[in-house]
Homo-oligomer: A and B are copies of this chain.
């Protein structure tokens, strides 16, 4: 038991709130749901809601899964080609995201309709991108190259999720494959014309 009762309850309540938020938000749109309703639906007071999340947009997004340490380690020390190792890394992360497709879809709909939510997610993504930049810097030894690669990594994931949301028949991994192919082709175009 590595988590105390208090810590487990805290996590559970946070998830309860997110569940309640997404349920109401999907029904009526985030603009038409009040923090009061969310709190009532989650069985807590309005004040307590704000002890868990700064606002309802943050509650809807929850805490997105970041990159896993082990995967970053593997990317940093990988021996295959950079493209291959990076693709493996992105596949792993996408598998993590695929564990909760329902939430992913609901959060996506919030992000498309609400600027504030978009900004909050941007904060999470920026921090992931920074981590990945450090990791790639250790491998490619050049900060600008690492930053460009990291940007493309988070961007590819985002675009793949959007493609998956729209397609109705693609799996997340399949969507990532398609977006990834596009990135490689774009890279070849740029590389070829700048030799």
Q: Please give the residue numbers on chain A whose beta carbons come within 8 Å of chain B beta carbons, in ascending order.
A: 81-84, 86, 114-120, 122-123, 140, 142-145, 147-149, 151-152, 155-156, 159, 178-179, 181-194
Chain B residues in 8 Å Cβ range of A83? 189-190, 193-194
Closest to A117 in B: B119
- Contact partner of A155 (CB less than 8 A), chosen from B115, B119, B155, B190, is B155
Q: Which residue on B lies nearest to A163, using beta carbons?
A: B144
Q: 17 A-B residue contacts at CB 8 Å?
A: A81-B193, A114-B119, A118-B122, A118-B123, A119-B122, A122-B122, A142-B185, A145-B185, A147-B182, A148-B182, A148-B183, A148-B186, A155-B155, A184-B191, A187-B188, A188-B194, A191-B191
Given A117-B119, A119-B119: A191 in contact with B187 (beta carbons within 8 A): yes
Contacts of A122 in B (CB 8 A): 115, 118-119, 122
Residue in B closest to A185 when the chains form the complex, CB atoms = B145
Interface centre among A159, A181, A186, A189 (most CB of B within 10 A): A186
Q: With A119-B118, A119-B122 given, is the CB distance from A184 to B179 under 8 Å?
A: no
Q: How many copies of this chain does the complex contain? A: 2
Question: Nearest 4 CB-CB pairs, A to B?
Answer: A144-B182, A119-B119, A81-B193, A148-B186
Residues of chain B contacted by A188 (CB below 8 angstroms): 187, 191, 194
Residues of B within 8 A of A182 (CB): 142-145, 147-148
Distance between A162 CB and nearest chain B CB, rounded to angstroms: 10
Tell me, rounded to whole Å, the shortest Cβ–Cβ distance linking A180 to chain B.
Answer: 9
Nearest residue, chain B, Cβ from A186: B148
| Distance between Cα atoms of A82 and B89 in the complex (Å) | 29
CB nearest neighbor in B for A159: B147
Which chain B residue lies CB-closest to A143? B182
